[in-house]
Amino acid sequence: MIPIQETSTASPQVLVVEDDDLMRLSVADRFRIEGIPAAAAASLAEARRLLSRGQIEVVVTDIRLPDGTGRDLFEDIARSHSGIPVVLMTAFGSIPEAVELVKSGAADYLTKPFKPDALVSIVRRCLDDRRDRRLSAQLRAADGRCGPAGTGVLGRSLAMRTIEQLVARIAPLDSSVLITGESGAGKEVVADLIHHSSPRAGAPFVKVNCAAIPLNLVESELFGHEKGAFTGADRRWIGRFEQAQGGTLFLDEIAEIPPETQVKLLRVLQERSVQRVGGRETIRLDVRVIAATQVDLKAAIESGRFRGDLYWRLNVFHIAVPPLRERGDDVLFLARHFAREFAERMGRPAKEFSPDAEAALLDNPFPGNVRELKNLVERAVGLSDGRRIEAHDLFTTSGQPAVHGTATLRNAKETSEREAILQALARHGWMMTETARALGISRKNLWEKMRRYGVERDAQ
Question: How are strands ordered across the β-sheet holding 108-111?
Answer: 38-41, 14-17, 58-62, 86-90, 108-111
Q: Are 120 and 6 in contact (CB under 8 A)?
A: no
- Around Cβ 298, how many Cβ atoms within 10 Å? 12
Cα–Cα distances (Å) from 15 to 29, 31, 46, 47, 368, in that order, read 12, 10, 10, 8, 41
The amino acid at residue 190 is V
Q: Which CATH class is domain 14-130?
A: alpha beta
Beta strand 388-389 pairing with 352-353? parallel
Res 187: pLDDT: 94
Q: How many CA atoms lie within 13 A of 337 on its CB side?
A: 24
Spacing of C-alpha 17 from chain mean position: 36
Res 396: pLDDT: 61
228 φ/ψ sector (left φ>0, alpha ψ -120 to 50, else beta) = left
* CA 429/CA 453 separation, integer angstroms: 19
The residues pairing with 290 across neighbouring beta strands, listed in sequence order, are 177, 250
* CA 38/CA 287 separation, integer angstroms: 50
Alpha carbon dihedral 302, 298, 208, 246, in 10-degree steps, equals: -120
Rg (CA), the chain: 27
Q: Average pLDDT per run of 10 along the chain, which is 460 residues long?
A: 42 88 91 89 93 88 91 88 86 80 84 88 82 59 47 80 92 95 91 93 91 86 88 85 94 93 94 92 95 94 94 96 90 90 85 86 89 90 84 69 50 71 82 81 78 64
pTM of the model: 0.62
- Fold classified for 409-453: Arc Repressor Mutant, subunit A (1.10.10)
Residue 64 per-residue DSSP state: E
Res 298: pLDDT: 93
Q: Which CATH class is domain 158-322?
A: alpha beta
Q: Where are the domains of the chain?
A: 14-130, 158-322, 325-394, 409-453
Res 144: pLDDT: 42
- Residue among 66, 67, 107 nearest 86 (CA): 107
SS (H, E, C) 99-130: HHHHHHCCCEEEECCCCHHHHHHHHHHHHHHH
- Residue among 441, 399, 406, 400 nearest 420 (CA): 441
The amino acid at residue 396 is T
Domain 325-394 in CATH 1.10.150.120? The answer is no
Same fold: 158-322 with 409-453: no
Cα torsion angle, 126, 128, 133, 134, sign: positive
Beta strand 38-41 pairing with 14-17? parallel
Res 301: pLDDT: 94
Q: Give the contacts of 218 (CB within 8 A, at least 6 positions apart).
A: 210, 257, 258, 261
Res 80: pLDDT: 83
